[in-house]
Amino acid sequence: MSSTLTNPPRRELQSFLDFPICTDIDQLDGHIGILGIPYGDPYSIDEVTNDQTNAPTWVRRYTERALRQLERWDFDIGGPLLGGKDIKVVDCGDVKANPRDLDLHYRNAEAVVRAMLAKGMLPIIIGGDHGIPIPVLRAYDDQGPITLVHIDAHLDWRDHVNGARGGYSSPIRRAAEMDHVGQIFQIGLRSAGSARPEEVEAAQAYGAVLIPDVELQDVGMKAVLDRIPDGGRYYLTIDADGMDPTIMPAVNGPAPGGVTYPQIRTLIHGLVKKGRVVGMDIVEITPKKDVNGITAITAGRIICNLIGKTIQAGYFDAK
């Protein structure tokens, strides 16, 4: 009879799916990198830190519910996550910030993503608010042309709010100003946010393809996917409030309707097949508003779909 009558205390996951952690950009080595960017460009002193800064930790904590074990069969992707291949996924930790230099974390974020891209890694970003794609996309300036695919309830074309030009209402406007960003597709727009008629006009003048949720639900995601040209290099930015709030309730601006889980799965699988997905972020998760962890679990499932499908598509076979 064993003398051990107790088990060790349960351990929460620190990294995404318990993948190895590397916070030294000089030592980065892998195929896929998970990166938390907790902070954005605040509109007020109250937004320097907010509950969305806790989202990277929240999503990681629930990844064991998104995928119990790496060897388990995942019916969304049609096999185990890594597909039996020698694929190295690394959790790069969270980008550092400094309360006395509120631009430093954007510079740090850009530097980390540049280092990941230089090593041939696929960056998968967990925000933070929706300002964080701005420094991320800056790091792709030698990777263009990038086709930006945007999931959101809101347009995000404000030039500035309270003088801040890198905040969560402006990421698509800033992306449109980058020479390496080409076509922009904005999917799931609904309700009313910060956009005024002039922002809609600016988006249309650029040539952004605006696909309101009303249209998405009428025609379906496959029809929307068909409008995105084949052979592109795609960056996918997902605002959690662009998703159906029944599966992502933990947002500050919930709106009825939105992209469903089957629809985002169809989009990710389709983009992977169409060309090459070069990066993705998921932002605007507010952990205190979550219900039974479903927002974090859904975010984990979205990331698993991208990881699994890029591996199946052979993205990393030559590395």
Q: Is 116 helix (H, G, I), strand (E, B) or coil?
A: helix
Residue with tokens 């859904």: 298
Q: Which of 55, 24, 39 is nearest to 303 (CA)?
A: 55
User: How, if at all, do strands 181-189 and 276-283 pair?
Assistant: unpaired
Out of 12-21, 40-49, 121-130, 215-224, least confident range: 40-49
State the amino acid at position 285 in one-letter form.
I
**SS3 (DSSP) at 27:** helix
Confidence tier at 4 by pLDDT (50, 70, 90)? confident
The pLDDT tens digits of the residues spanning 172-212 come to 999 999 999 999 999 999 988 778 899 999 999 999 999 99
**What are the phi and psi torsion angles at 47 (to 5°)?**
-100, 5
Provide the Cα torsion 261, 189, 166, 25; round to 10°.
Answer: 20
List the domains of the chain with CATH numbers. Answer: 16-313 (3.40.800.10)
The two three-digit tokens of residue 187, written as one number: 């999917």
d(CA 105, CA 110): 8
**One-letter identity of residue 207:** G
Classify 74 as helix, strand or coil. strand
Residue 319: predicted pLDDT: 59
Give mean pLDDT, residues 3-31. Answer: 88
Q: Which of 189, 195, 129, 131 is nearest to 158 (CA)?
A: 195
Helix 294-312 crosses helix 261-274 at what angle (to 10 degrees)?
20
What was the pLDDT predicted at 42? 85
- CA–CA separation, 2 and 25 (whole Å): 46
